[in-house]
Amino acid sequence: MANIAIIGLGAMGQALTARFLQQGHTVTVWNRTPGKGASLVARGAREARSAADAIAASDVTVMCVLDYSATDSIINDAAPTLSGRALINLTNGTPAQARATAELVATLDADYLDGGIMATPPMIGGEHALILYSGSKAAFDAHAETLEGLGAANYLGEDAGLASLHDLALLSGMYGLFAGFFHATALVDSEGIPASGFLTLLRNWMTAMLGELAGYAEKIDSGEHGVNVVSNLGMQTASLENILTATREQGVAADLLNPMLDLFRKRAGSGFGDEDISGVFELIRRQRGK
């Protein structure tokens, strides 16, 4: 059993603590605003007076606060105590923020592991919880078994920014899916069809379309978008134009799909209409050397 400090008792920090307690670990908690640990203390957690006290009482520290500005200020306040210890930061942020915090922690002679939680608080410890990690391999290896208790632990590499990069990329995919759902549902809603009545058709269609992704991934990796094209960009641009015309006719706002049509037209208008729509990726990817 591990001896863990939890810094931050928001909705997520409380869920992490509850899970560690349930698994029989020793947990010392600290939160900026006192009192939030009461129910956890009742279940066996110890409450420290400062972040430094919690860190000092434990073998490993798991931090989960609002943002990296909070993270860095807590690290600076507890700096001397962190020396020689491992800090696992599950706060959500950008790759650049994770890398900057990793550098800060390195100056304190401590081990830094960054994490991205792909779960809501009630999911922690459940079969669908996933947490992405990157940074110190030594810290991950030393605590992997404990971390697995929170959810599947996926280590992505020594670059501390990789967990955040993958976290934000996965969320981007989710928001794209939600955008398609909202637009499609607004179209049928314009004729009084309820979202719940349309859901099965839409879900089956979206599930079938997931099968296209492997082919797009191959084309993106090879940079060759003109091979094995069944539904080319020119045809799909005309189809997207129809969707946006119908959108206007039905009195639905086109905000979610207009940017996609702009990209389709730009790529097709540059002579790539015979290729696959995966070619649109070339318009948004980071350009080499930048």
Ligand X SMILES: NC(=O)c1ccc[n+]([C@@H]2O[C@H](COP(=O)([O-])OP(=O)(O)OC[C@H]3O[C@@H](n4cnc5c(N)ncnc54)[C@H](OP(=O)(O)O)[C@@H]3O)[C@@H](O)[C@H]2O)c1
Residues at the interface with ligand X (CB under 6 A): 8-13, 31-33, 36, 64-66, 70, 73-74, 91-92, 117, 120-121
Cα dihedral 172, 178, 184, 190 sign: negative
Question: By C-beta, is 13 or 279 nearer to ligand X?
Answer: 13
Cβ nearer to ligand X, comparing 66 with 187: 66
CB of 156 to ligand X, least distance (A): 17
Our CB check for ligand X shows the closer of 21 and 233 to be 21
β-strand 130-135 against 111-118: which pairing, if any?
antiparallel
Q: 149 or 279, CB closer to ligand X?
A: 149
Residue 236 near residue 250, CB atoms below 8 Å: no
Tokens 């306040």 appear where? 77
Distance of closest approach, residue 35 Cβ to ligand X, in angstroms: 9
Handedness of CA 75, 145, 19, 46 (dihedral sign): negative
Q: Looking at beta carbons only, is 178 or 205 nearer to ligand X? A: 178
Q: Output 22 or 258, the one with its CB closest to ligand X.
A: 22
Report the residue closest to ligand X, judged by CB: 10
CB of 14 to ligand X, least distance (A): 7
Q: State the Cα–Cα distance between residues 210 and 203, nearest whole angstrom.
A: 11
Nearest CB to ligand X, comparing residues 92 and 247: 92
CB of 118 to ligand X, least distance (A): 7
The residue type found at 210 is L
Q: What DSSP character marks residue 271?
A: I
Sheet holding 26-30, edge to edge: 46-47, 26-30, 3-7, 60-63, 86-89, 111-118, 130-135, 152-155
User: With respect to ligand X, which residue has the nearer C-beta, 53 or 189?
Assistant: 53
List CB contacts of 261: < 8 A, sequence separation 6 or more: 237, 240, 241, 244
Dist. CA 34–CA 217, nearest whole Å: 49
**At residue 140, what are phi and psi to the nearest 5 degrees?**
-65, -50
Least separation in angstroms between residue 255's CB and ligand X is: 25
For residue 16, the minimal CB distance to ligand X (Å) is 9
Please, what is the minimum distance in Å from the beta carbon of residue 290 to ligand X?
Answer: 29
Asked whether the beta carbons of 114 and 101 are under 8 A apart, the reply is yes
165-to-138, 157, 176, 178, 279 alpha-carbon distances in Å:
21, 12, 16, 20, 23
Neighbours of 287 (CB within 10 A): 6
Nearest distance in Å: CB 151, ligand X: 11
